[in-house]
């Protein structure tokens, strides 16, 4: 996995400075006259300046508070950029009375009219406050009098009691960012760890200055991450404040690419995470310092570790369930089947139990933690060495440095002397060792009872596989009629199960119409559709007149007919981000074709067997003919699934080779 970090940390240096006035309100004529961005002339908008200033400061009633000031100046070159004239600020609330507050929002639009700068102020009628739910409010504002070439500027303050973990400070956007400044200040007691993200390197400058407070405080305060700390102090305190600053210039816009996973993984950003607080008294409160301590902290939480210690609520059910179990495999399957059957996932992710496992068990409903902590506890009760495995889902991104928010999901892991096998109890169609695609992100961290933890790979031990036997008859009128027998294992089976499980046989056949529109599919049947432990089998009959060309009495057919890979999924000329194919896979076809009577094969494609790099991928296409029957065996294996952008060209060519090969025709002529 080390290589992944290298891949993300690609080097490009941008250091420039310009003599411009970024004081609020000092928008210059030059800036307004600019017709297009000098480096990215097609950009619809650009952030000319972004300033972010955060300070953790003491408030006599509310304790330590984070004050953040934001100032942005944005140039809108054309209509497409107008969406930047409407901004949305999300304000978090916690279940208690802690809430983020917005203040001092002001803004203006500047336009050039007859050579003069005109200013239009943002007024109340352009600001909208909305209470979205218990947990968040949104303030939206939209700037007045927008026109092509205008500049908008705004500033606001946010007061937040959540000082332990804040949203990352973002330095890169889908439009160019000309200049961005961050200043972050916190008293020496607070030790923040910094996560630097993206492929643009930047320097963080640290300094210390002296500050003092004159408050008398002896009270309990909310840390902002659940839990409290005690603060006892004198009337006047002098302390050192740590200040870190970042300045970046000319940050290029971020572009989407396919097979790159979550694009936010690559945006330049800085994330602060409180690791520990050391009070003057010497007492230390730990948050997160390394993955080990992050995991310890998670384990200690009553919504995590405690949930694993309970077993009374399921004891009787489990004792009944395990009567007559043959061996360990049987026990594991019985428990896993029991949980997936009984429990219903409410689609909430998280590694903390929502209510608690007992009430989740009673209701049969829970979040990912309720269900998988319960599953882990059951495995333990049955005598297995089972432990929870923390995961960061694809949408949560890849955390580069330790933090509590680095994870947002938990599954159960059963440790054997050789291996760790993962189970996700939320997945009713799941099987051991196979996780949903959205969980296949980076790696997981197994957390043991003794507090130790370690990284584990999330991908299945055996590749996802699809094997198809296709048997068809080719008629001289251009029709093909035949049968398909598929067998799938691993995530290939999981995907198909998810697609077909609630469909009637008619609807199942119809849904294939969308995949292969000019093929008539009948008598589709599945075996083991709802038995995830067994390979998924799918059989059907098909006919079509869309795949054989009759030209001057000769028949031309690409033997893989509608299964041929027609499109190269890689379309961009080049790319910057790694290519993530998610997992290893094996895709095999065995095709048997009866050619019509009175015809013979006059031309066959060449058989090939090629590999990419050190067998990162391989492709086989073996074709032969014997006594009126054509035989084709083709196999495409992905053995390595994560590649650096330097491999892009080779991968694209490899796929193109397959596309070209599978399009090649067999020629069949009259004898």
Partner 1 sequence: MRILKFLFILLMVPVYGQEHYDINNIPEPLRTNVNAIIRDHDINIALNDVNNMTVSYHIVVTVLNKRGLEAIQPAVGYDANSSVQSVSARVYDARGKEIRKYKKKDFSDVSATGANLYSDNRMMVLDFTPSIYPFTFEFETITKTNSTAFIPRWLPIAFTSVSVESSSYILRNPRRIPLNSKIYNLDAANIEISETGTEFRYSLKNQLPVKKEDYGPYFTEIVPFVKIAPQQFTLAGTRAEVRSWKDFGYWQQQKLLNGRGELSESTIGRISALVSGINDPKEKARAIYEFMQSKTRYISVQIGIGGWQPTFASEVDELGYGDCKGLTNYTQALLKSQGIESYYTIVDSGPGGQDIDEDFVALQGDHVILTVPFEDENVFLECTSQQLPFNFLGTHTDDRKVLMVTPEGGVMTRTHRYSPEDNKIELKANVTLQESLKLSGTLTQRSSGIQYSYRYDLENETSDDVKNRYKRYWSHLNNLDLADISFSNDKKEVEFTESLWFETEGYVSMAGSRILLNPNIFQRIEDIPSKAANRTQPLVIRRGFTETDSITLLLPSNYVLESVFEPISITTKFGTYRSSVNIVNEATIEYKREFILNTGRYPKEDFNTYADFIKDVVRSDRSKIVFVQK
Q: Is 85 in the site for partner 1 (CB under 8 A)?
A: yes
Taking residues 331 to 370 in sequence order and writing x for each that binds partner 1 by CB under 8 A, - otherwise, the string is -------------xxxx-----------x--xxxx-----
Does residue 666 touch partner 1 according to CB under 8 A?
Answer: yes
Kindly state the smallest distance separating residue 82's Cβ from partner 1, in Å.
5
By CB under 8 A, is residue 546 in contact with partner 1? yes
Give the one residue of 47, 48, 52, 146 binding partner 1; rule: CB under 8 A: 146
Helix axes 312-321, 328-342, angle to 10 degrees: 120
212-218 contacts: CB < 8 A, separation 24 or more? 212/236, 212/237, 212/238, 212/239, 213/58, 213/237, 213/239, 215/58, 215/60, 217/58, 217/60, 217/63
**277 class by beta-carbon count within 10 Å (0-12 exposed, 13-18 middle, 19+ buried):** buried
Angle between helix 368-381 and 312-321 (nearest 10): 60
> Cα–Cα distance between 442 and 1 in angstroms, integer?
8
In the complex, least distance from residue 410 CB atom to partner 1, rounded to whole angstroms? 18
Q: Is 78 in the site for partner 1 (CB under 8 A)?
A: yes
Nearer to partner 1, 12 or 210 (CB): 12
CB of 193 to partner 1, least distance (A): 34
- Classified as helix, coil or strand, 622 is strand
Alpha helices by DSSP H, listed for 254-344, are 291-300, 305-309, 312-321, 328-342
**DSSP alpha helices (H): ranges in 286-420?**
291-300, 305-309, 312-321, 328-342, 357-363, 368-381
What sections of 466-565 are H helices per DSSP? 491-500, 505-515
Task: Report CA 619 to chain centroid distance, whole Å.
Answer: 29
| Closer of 295 and 666 to partner 1 (Cβ) | 666
Residue 290 binds partner 1 (CB under 8 A): no
- CB-wise, 17 or 504, nearer to partner 1? 504
The tokens describing 600, both together, are: 């013979």
Among 556, 582, 594, 631, binds partner 1 (CB under 8 A): 556
Rounded (to 5) percent helix, strand, coil in the chain:
20, 40, 40
Nearer to partner 1, 25 or 364 (CB): 364
User: What CA–CA distance (Å, rounded) separates 343 from 535?
Assistant: 23
602 binds partner 1 (CB under 8 A): yes
Interface region with partner 1, contact rule CB under 8 A, candidates 483-491, 561-569, 590-598, 626-634? 561-569
* Single residue of 20, 94, 142, 289 touching partner 1 by CB under 8 A: 142
Cβ-based nearer residue to partner 1, 89 or 194:
89
Residue 624 binds partner 1, judged by CB under 8 A? no
The CA-based dihedral angle spanning residues 344, 350, 353, 359, taken in that order and rounded to the nearest 10 degrees: -20
**One of 126, 201, 350, 644 touching partner 1 (CB under 8 A):** 126
Q: How many CB atoms lie within 10 A of CB 668?
A: 23
Q: Is 649 in the site for partner 1 (CB under 8 A)?
A: no
Q: Please, which of residues 9-48 interact with partner 1 by CB under 8 A? A: 42-44
# chain residues binding partner 1, by CB under 8 A: 68
Residue 116 touches partner 1, criterion: CB under 8 A: no
Q: How far apart are CA 406 and CA 396, in angstroms?
A: 8
How many other C-beta atoms can be found within 10 angstroms of the C-beta atom of residue 660? 11
Q: Sign of dihedral through CA atoms 9, 11, 12, 14? A: positive
Quote the CA–CA distance of 657 and 290 in Å, as a whole number.
Answer: 45
Compute the least distance from the CB of residue 271 to partner 1, in Å: 29
Q: Please tell me whether residue 319 binds partner 1 under the rule CB under 8 A.
A: no
Our finding on whether 124 is near partner 1 (CB under 8 A) is no
Residues 463-522 interacting with partner 1 (rule: CB under 8 A)? 502, 504, 510, 513, 517-518, 520
What is the per-residue binding string for partner 1 in 221-260, x denoting contact by CB under 8 A?
----------------------------------x-----
If DSSP states are collapsed to H, E and C, what string results for 579-606? EECCCCEEEEEEEEEECCCCEEEEECCC
Q: Quick one: CA dihedral 104, 131, 170, 162, positive or negative?
A: positive
86 binds partner 1 (CB under 8 A): yes
Quick one: which of 15, 101, 147, 534 contacts partner 1 (CB under 8 A)? 147
- CB under 8 A: which stretch of 181-189, 326-334, 484-492, 658-666 binds partner 1? 658-666
Q: In angstroms, rounded to a whole number, what is the distance separating the alpha carbons of residues 193 and 320?
A: 49
Query: Is 552 an interacting residue with respect to partner 1 (CB under 8 A)?
Result: yes
Which of 286, 545 has the CB closer to partner 1?
A: 545
3-state secondary structure (DSSP) of residue 60: coil
- Candidates 24-32, 131-139, 266-274, 374-382: pick the segment binding partner 1 (CB under 8 A): 131-139
Among 191, 568, 618, 639, binds partner 1 (CB under 8 A): 568
* Shortest spacing between CB 438 and partner 1, in angstroms: 18
**Cβ 36 to partner 1 shortest distance, Å:** 11
Rounded CA gap, 418 and 408, in Å?
27
For 215, the enclosing helix (H) or strand (E) is none
Q: Does 145 bind partner 1 (CB under 8 A)?
A: yes
Q: Which residues bind partner 1 (CB under 8 A)?
A: 42-44, 78-80, 82, 85-86, 120, 125-126, 128, 130-134, 140, 142, 144-148, 255, 344-347, 359, 362-365, 502, 504, 510, 513, 517-518, 520, 545-546, 549, 551-552, 556, 558, 566-568, 571-573, 602-605, 652, 656, 659-660, 663-667
């Amino acid at each position: 996995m080390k290589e992944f970090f290298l891949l993300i940390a690609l080097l490009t240096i941008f250091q420039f400075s310009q003599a411009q006035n970024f004081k609020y309100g000092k928008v210059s004529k030059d800036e307004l006259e600019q017709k297009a961005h000098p480096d990215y002339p097609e950009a619809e908008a650009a952030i000319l300046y972004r300033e972010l200033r955060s300070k953790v400061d003491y408030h006599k009633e509310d304790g330590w508070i984070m004050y953040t000031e934001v100032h942005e100046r944005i140039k809108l070159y054309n209509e497409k950029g107008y969406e930047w004239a409407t901004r949305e600020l999300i304000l978090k609330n916690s279940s208690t009375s802690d809430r983020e507050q917005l203040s001092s929002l002001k803004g203006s639009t500047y336009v050039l009219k007859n050579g003069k700068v005109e200013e239009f102020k943002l007024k109340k009628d352009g600001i909208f406050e909305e209470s979205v739910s218990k947990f968040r409010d949104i303030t939206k504002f939209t700037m007045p009098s927008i026109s092509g070439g205008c500049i908008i500027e705004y500033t606001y303050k946010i007061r937040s009691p959540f000082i332990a973990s804040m949203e990352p400070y973002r330095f890169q956007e889908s439009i160019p960012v000309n200049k961005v400044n961050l200043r972050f200040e916190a008293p020496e007691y607070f030790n923040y760890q910094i996560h630097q993200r993206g492929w643009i390197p930047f320097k963080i400058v640290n300094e210390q200055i002296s500050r003092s407070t004159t408050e008398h405080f002896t009270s309990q305060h909310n840390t902002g991450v659940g839990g409290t700390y005690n603060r006892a102090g004198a009337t006047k305190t002098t302390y050192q404040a740590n200040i870190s600053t970042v300045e970046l210039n000319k940050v290029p816009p971020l572009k989407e690419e396919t097979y790159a996973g979550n694009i936010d993984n690559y945006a330049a950003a800085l994330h602060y995470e409180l690791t520990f607080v050391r009070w003057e008294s010497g007492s230390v409160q730990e948050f997160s310092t390394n993955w080990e301590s992050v995991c310890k902290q998670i384990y200690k939480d009553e919504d995590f570790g405690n949930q694993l210690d309970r077993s009374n609520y399921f004891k009787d059910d489990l004792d009944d369930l395990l009567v007559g179990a043959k061996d360990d495999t049987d026990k594991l399957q019985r428990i896993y089947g029991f949980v997936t059957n009984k429990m219903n996932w409410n689609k909430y992710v998280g590694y903390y139990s929502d209510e608690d496992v007992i009430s989740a068990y009673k209701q049969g409903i829970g979040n990912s933690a309720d269900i998988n902590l319960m599953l882990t506890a059951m495995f333990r009760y049955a005598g297995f060495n089972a432990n929870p495995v923390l995961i960061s889902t694809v949408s949560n991104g890849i955390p580069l440095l330790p933090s509590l928010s680095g994870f947002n999901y938990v599954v159960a892991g059963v440790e054997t002397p050789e291996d760790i096998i993962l189970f996700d109890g939320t997945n009713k169609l799941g099987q051991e060792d196979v996780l949903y695609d959205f969980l296949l992100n980076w790696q997981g961290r197994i957390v043991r009872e003794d507090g130790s933890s370690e990284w584990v790979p999330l991908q299945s031990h055996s590749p996802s596989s699809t094997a198809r036997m296709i048997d068809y008859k080719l008629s001289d009128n251009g029709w093909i009629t035949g049968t398909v027998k598929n067998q799938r294992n691993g995530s290939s089976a999981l995907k198909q199960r998810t697609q077909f499980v609630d469909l009637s046989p008619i609807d199942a056949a119809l849904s294939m119409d969308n995949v292969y529109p000019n093929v008539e599919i009948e008598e589709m049947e599945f075996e083991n559709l709802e038995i995830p432990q067994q390979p998924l089998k799918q059989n059907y009959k098909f006919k079509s007149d869309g795949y054989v060309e009759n030209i001057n009495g000769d028949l031309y057919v690409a033997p893989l007919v509608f299964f041929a890979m027609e499109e190269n999924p890689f379309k961009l000329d080049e790319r910057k981000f790694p290519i993530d194919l998610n997992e290893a896979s094996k895709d095999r076809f065995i095709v048997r074709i009866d050619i019509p009577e009175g015809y013979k094969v006059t031309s066959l494609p060449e058989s090939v067997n090629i590999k990419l790099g050190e067998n990162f991928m391989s492709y086989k296409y073996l074709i032969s003919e014997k006594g009126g029957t054509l035989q084709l065996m083709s196999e495409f294996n992905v053995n390595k699934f994560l590649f650096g952008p330097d491999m892009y060209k080779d991968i694209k060519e490899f796929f193109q080779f397959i596309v070209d090969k599978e399009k090649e025709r067999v020629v069949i002529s009259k004898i």
